[in-house]
Amino acid sequence: MTIAVRRAGNTLRVISSEGHSRSATHNGGELAALARRRSFLVVDPQALVRHGLALTLSSLYEGAQTWQAGTLAEALSLLAAGASVPDVVLLDADGLGPDRMVAVADFLSRLQGVPAVVMSSSFSAAETRTLLTAGAAACLLKSDPSAVLAEAVGLALTREGYVQMPYALLAPVNPMPVMEDGLEQANVARLTNRQRDIFKLLLSGCSNKEIARRLGVLEGTVKVHVRAMMQKLGARNRTQIAILAARTGFRPE
């Protein structure tokens, strides 16, 4: 079962837990009117899977154009060429190795606002939170029925902040969670109060300039704190900070 929720600031609010096909088709007339203008980018290492997804999208949106890429690098090359600007990207996260969250989060950051539906045979709760925080419009299991894919694409096309995830992963976040990695928890605990403030703003998507303005400090001061934080957390960039935060249950709000 997959659930649809809506982004609200730094939180996710439940808006529907059943009747998925209804929200995908309630504005069917409107979507049909726009169908011929729809375009999609399918990223999957398996050619037959890419072809199958392309056929599915063509059946949902008559006349839609679909581009296909076997790797993230190939997809980025297509986007950089400027000849193809898809309405929605469909991405298979399987087969990207143990650092797949870093690879997918980096890819999402390069889409410049294009909504992405991320698919996998399985997601952990931490992975789902990481991907939605990074900007994914949906996290779908490959075992989901085709109706769920249809709804996810339909919601992504609205660009109204709706996201989807497996229902089993929607659970209250314990403010004092049991850590999978005690070292990561200890590293977060080592942050100073000011670094924690900056940590929260980083997770909210603020730039160094925005953080400086909100905290009333110089941008150079923020950069110094960010470098110190990365050293304490063992992170090389902001994406890794977000992944560590998801693992430890640290929330920006």
Which whole number is the average pLDDT over 225-252? 73
pTM: predicted TM-score of the whole model, two decimal places: 0.57
Mean pLDDT of the chain, nearest integer: 75
pLDDT in tens, 91-129: 999 888 778 888 888 888 888 888 999 999 988 877 887
Is the CATH number 1.10.10.10 carried by domain 182-248?
A: yes
Domain covering 2-169: architecture = 3-Layer(aba) Sandwich (3.40)
> What's the per-residue H, E or C state across 85-103?
CCCEEEEECCCCCCCHHHH
pLDDT in tens, 43-97: 999 999 999 999 998 888 888 888 999 999 999 988 888 766 888 999 999 888 7
Percent of the chain with pLDDT over 70: 72
pLDDT at 243 over 60: yes
Q: What is the pLDDT of residue 68?
A: 92
Same fold, 2-169 and 182-248: no
Q: Where are the domains of the chain?
A: 2-169, 182-248
Helices 100-109 and 72-81: angle between axes, nearest 10 degrees: 10
Q: What values do phi and psi take at 3, rounded to 5?
A: -120, 145
The single-letter DSSP state of residue 173 is P
